[in-house]
Amino acid sequence: MQTNSTILDVSGLCKKYGNTDVLRGVNLQVREGELACIIGPSGSGKSTMLRCCNLLESPTSGNIIAASHELMNPEIDINRMRQDVGMVFQQFNLYPHLSALNNVTLALRKVQNKSKDEAQDIAMQALDQVGLKNKAMSKPGELSGGQQQRVAIARAVALKPRIILFDEPTSALDPELVDDVLNVMCDLRKRGMTMVVVTHEMAFAHAAADKVIFMDEGVVVESGTAADIFERPREGRTQAFLARYA
């Protein structure tokens, strides 16, 4: 499903909080259809980088083009951009008082102005894709963490984004629930979805990623194919980081 067109292009991205430089010139490109995994130590700026890519954080300087939206353009329509650039969070961020179905239909109704029937059809298809059609009427509190995260993925998918950003989607899950979520992500990739995934699941990144990006101290230290990064890392910092997982 990979094509040659770049769908996410981050160049010279800097982010300061007060006097602290959290991102110090991040460069990365993701092509349409790719599954890109971002790895790196805690505090290296992975979440900040990802959140800049749909303007949950505002970059201090640099350029980002995401799904053809120029994020640094002051005229940007953020709501439209976020329909093309979806996001899945570590903590699911579902509405606890709404059913799985209504968690998925909400943005379809409010943001995309779909009719109730159309929103429900799309939402049921999305829930079916993540294997949860039979849980459509359950509230988040009645679902396991893995099921809640699959609802959150269905919610992102239902909007038909061109790219989905995932910030440690399995880090809040009990270990036995991690694979269900990773399998759903692998299915999505087979369907051609472009995904950028911050993860500590090294086996997943090694097996499934088209591209692996290692970040440390606010920069991309090294990026390449999964084999490049896991089997023949060039940089000492990458080698030292991976040694902790060996």
Residue 47 interacts with ligand ADP (CB under 6 A)?
A: yes
Near ligand ADP by CB under 6 A: residue from 44, 99, 102, 194: 44
Mask of contacts with Mg ion, 3-42, x by CB under 5 A? ----------------------------------------
Stretch that binds ligand ADP, among 44-52, 107-115, 154-162, 237-245 (CB under 6 A): 44-52
Residue 95 interacts with ligand ADP (CB under 6 A)?
A: no
CB closer to ligand ADP out of 42 and 113: 42
Residue 22 interacts with ligand ADP (CB under 6 A)?
A: yes
Near Mg ion by CB under 5 A: residue from 13, 26, 35, 47: 47
Residue 46 interacts with ligand ADP (CB under 6 A)?
A: yes
Shortest spacing between CB 167 and Mg ion, in angstroms: 6
DSSP string, the chain: ---S-EEEEEEEEEEEETTEEEEEEEEEEEETT-EEEEE--TTSSHHHHHHHTTTSS--SEEEEEETTEETT-TT--HHHHHHHEEEE-TT----TTS-HHHHHHHHHHHTS---HHHHHHHHHHHHHHTT-GGGTT--GGGS-HHHHHHHHHHHHHHT--SEEEEESTTTTS-HHHHHHHHHHHHHHHHTT-EEEEE-S-HHHHHHH-SEEEEEETTEEEEEE-HHHHHHS--SHHHHHHHHTT-
**Which residues of the shown chain bind ligand ADP in the complex (CB under 6 A)?**
17, 22, 40, 42-48
**Which residues of the shown chain bind Mg ion in the complex (CB under 5 A)?**
47
